[in-house]
Structure formats: C-alpha cells, structure tokens
C-alpha cells in the first residue's frame, strides 16, 4: 500500500507548484483506518496477516476475518508505504 498524502512544499517565486528540494522537503501525512478486502486464490489458507512498515522494527500481526475466499482487515497507521503479508 502506498500513501502519497503529504504537506506540499511552498509554491515557487513564479506561483507555480514546487517539487521541493528532495528528501529534506518530504513531509508525509500518516494515514490510518485503511480497510482491505482481499480475494484469495482457490485453496489458499490464511492463518495470520502481518504488516511491515519502515517505522517499525519487524512485522506486526493484525486481526482479520475470513469469509469464504476473502480476508478482511484494517491496516494500522503508516506514513509512506506498508507491505501486507498473508501467512498460512
């Protein structure tokens, strides 16, 4: 998952949007409450859902519900990106 929401750098002297000065101007705004509803391939069994984000040391397990061939869960707050790992 990728979050592109950020505080934009100030406009340039010409009034046009500025790309900013690279990493020093990157000010991401965290996102929370992202809900996922994943359609699983036939035969895939999920026993654990984990998220991985740069802000945390290791994977974090999240609560999930399984209904037929779907898995539903809510992703905790993250800044720029989040990897979701479905484990057997």
Among the four given CATH numbers 3.40.1190.10, 3.40.109.10, 2.60.40.1180, 1.20.58.220, the one describing domain 28-87: 2.60.40.1180
What are the domain boundaries of the chain? 28-87
Please compute the mean of the pLDDT values over residues 7-20 and round it to a whole number: 78
* Cβ(50)–Cβ(87) below 8 Å: yes
pLDDT at position 9 is 75
pLDDT attached to residue 30 = 94
Burial letters for 37-69: b for 16+ Cβ neighbours within 10 Å, e otherwise?
Answer: eeeeeeeeeeeebebebeeeeeeeeeebeeeee
Determine the pLDDT at residue 22. Answer: 67
Span 17-74, pLDDT tens digits: 777 776 677 788 999 999 999 999 999 999 999 999 999 999 999 999 999 999 999 9
Q: What global pTM score does this model have? A: 0.79
């Amino acid at each position: 998952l990728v979050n592109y929401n950020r505080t934009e750098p100030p406009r340039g002297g010409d009034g046009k949007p500025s790309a900013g000065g690279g990493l020093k101007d990157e000010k991401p705004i965290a996102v929370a409450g992202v809900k996922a509803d994943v359609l699983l391939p036939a035969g895939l069994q999920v026993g654990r859902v984990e998220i991985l984000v740069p802000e945390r040391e290791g994977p974090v397990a999240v609560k999930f519900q399984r209904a037929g061939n779907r898995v539903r869960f809510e992703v905790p707050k993250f800044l720029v990106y989040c990897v979701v790992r479905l484990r057997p």
